[in-house]
Amino acid sequence: MNFRELLLLVLVGWTAVGAVGITISLLRHEHAKAVRHSLWIIAVWALYMAVLVTVSLAKPQKVVALGKDQCFDEMCFAVTGVQELPGYLIQDGSRLIRVSVRISNHGKKKTQSEGLIQAYLADAQGREWAESTSVSGVRLTARVAAGDSVISQPVFKVAKDATELRLIFTHGHRQPGVLVIGDSDSLLHKRTVVLLGQSSITTRAR
């Protein structure tokens, strides 16, 4: 847990304590005190959200190179290869892109996974494509032994005219990361991307 995550945790804990205090004040019919505490909570959250949005809008988009790790605590993910597959079952002109992702557990004690991790592709036009299948059978959420690594190969079905493809790792929008200042998943933040580049995509022969 980093400082920004700890800050959110402390704020949530403080809010919970404040909510208990407000409830007690209301039970004692101390309405003025309850209102005062409520206003404090609203003001602090408003300030926090203002800082979060300001940082999200001001921070430039982070671009991660192929082969470089993106780490979430002790679990790290790196794109190691990209391959365009022959579309045996594709009749609409779409393309199948397989991305090789190295999943590493940098911890030293226990087997673990990044349970909420997902990946999707986006192109220069802002279109997005979710994962279709995992050819290797290893999911991005796979459990990995301490100090070990595995390879996952998610496949994406993208439009024929898709250019400047980039891969984005995300934990989705229904998780605490959306309220962590400076997190790639936070509100209005530019997503961290791995630029795949046409020159990086190899074509597998039929």
pLDDT 10s digits, 61-79:
999 999 999 999 899 999 9
State the pTM of this model: 0.83
> Per DSSP, what are the bridge partners of residue 195?
166
Report the 3 state secondary structure along 14-61: HHHHHHHHHHHHHHCCCHHHHHHHHHHHHHHHHHHHHHHHHHHHHCCC
How many Å separate Cα 50 from the centre of its chain? 21
Angle among Cα 124, 126, 131 to the nearest 5 degrees reads 100
The yes or no reply on domain 63-203 and CATH 2.60.40.1240 is: yes
State how far the Cα of 79 lies from the Cα of 194, in Å rounded to an integer: 8
Per-residue model confidence as pLDDT tens digits over 27-62: 999 999 999 999 999 999 999 999 999 999 999 999
State how far the Cα of 43 lies from the Cα of 11, in Å rounded to an integer: 12
State how far the Cα of 57 lies from the Cα of 181, in Å rounded to an integer: 11
Widest Cα–Cα separation across the chain: 77
Positions in the chain whose pLDDT score sits under 50: none
List the chain domain ranges.
3-58, 63-203
